[in-house]
Structure 1
Amino acid sequence: MVSIPMVLVLFSVLLHRAAAQSANDPARSALQRLETIDVDKILGNNRILTNYIRCFLNEGACSPEARDFKRLIPKLASTACGDCTENQRSIVKKIFMHMINNRPDDWRMLQQTYDPEGRNVKTIEEFLTS
């Protein structure tokens, strides 16, 4: 029979291990946090979205959520969200499509900032049409 203290020790070890994995992989942790952000609220509020974009372009302060997403942008662009879950892929597609359709000038500036040589344009286009 397993004692309660033994279960607590095992739970503690598992929790510590999960925390260590998140700390060792900030991109994975940031991707998980992406699912907790109210993306529709951000995309639907021009002032908030502009603040995010200014953060991404190094032109303004970053909220913790914007800073997390900013760290992801290079990886998202180069891997076309290859490490994302289906839900995360859907969220990233929604964001990218909103930017392309509603803020094309900002989208171009983001591309120039994060992919100045255009290496990932085709990868992103394929991701968005998949």
Structure 2
Amino acid sequence: MACVAVTWARPESTYTDKWDNINVDEILESNRLLKGYVDCLLGKGRCTPDGIALKETLPDALEHECVKCTGKRKSGADKVIRHLVNKRPDL
């Protein structure tokens, strides 16, 4: 039983940093790319491999306030959310 308690007490690991260097601005400035990701996430369109990974990770990240996100990922997520709320509420 002590092993389980120790395992639960360990700090959370982070999601992969594979996408930390993606140019979020490029995606936000491209209607085609942004709509493609949104459609993927909403189940309205096909998903790229990156879209699939995002779709698998996003629910956990939102539910747990991005605790496993890297600093770059948190910054990018904040930028995307602000963009969608302020400039693309239609999506």
Gaps of 5+ in 1: 1-24, 107-130
Residue 36 of structure 1 and its aligned partner are, at CA, apart by 3.1
Aligned to 2:66: 81
Distance 2:56 2:23 in 1: 18
What secondary structure is seen at the aligned counterpart in 1 of 2:15? helix
Matches within 5 A, 1:22-41: 28-29=15-16, 32-41=17-26
Q: Deviation per CA, 1:13-68: give whole Å up to 9, x if none.
A: xxxxxxxxxxxx8x823xx1221322111111011100111100111111111111
Runs of 4+ deviating beyond 4 Å? none
Q: Which has the higher helix share?
A: 1
Distance 1:86 1:99 in 2: 20
Asked if 1:100 is matched to 2:85, the reply is: yes
Gaps of 5+ in 2: 1-12
Distance 1:66 1:74 in 2: 13
TM-score by length of 2: 0.76
Identity %: 33
Q: Deviation per CA, 1:81-115: give whole Å up to 9, x if none.
A: 11112221111111111111122232xxxxxxxxx
Q: Which has the higher contact order (CA 8 A, sep 6+)?
A: 2
Asked if 1:49 is matched to 2:22, the reply is: no
TM-score by length of 1: 0.55
**Larger Rg: 1 or 2?**
1
Q: RMSD value over aligned CA atoms?
A: 1.8
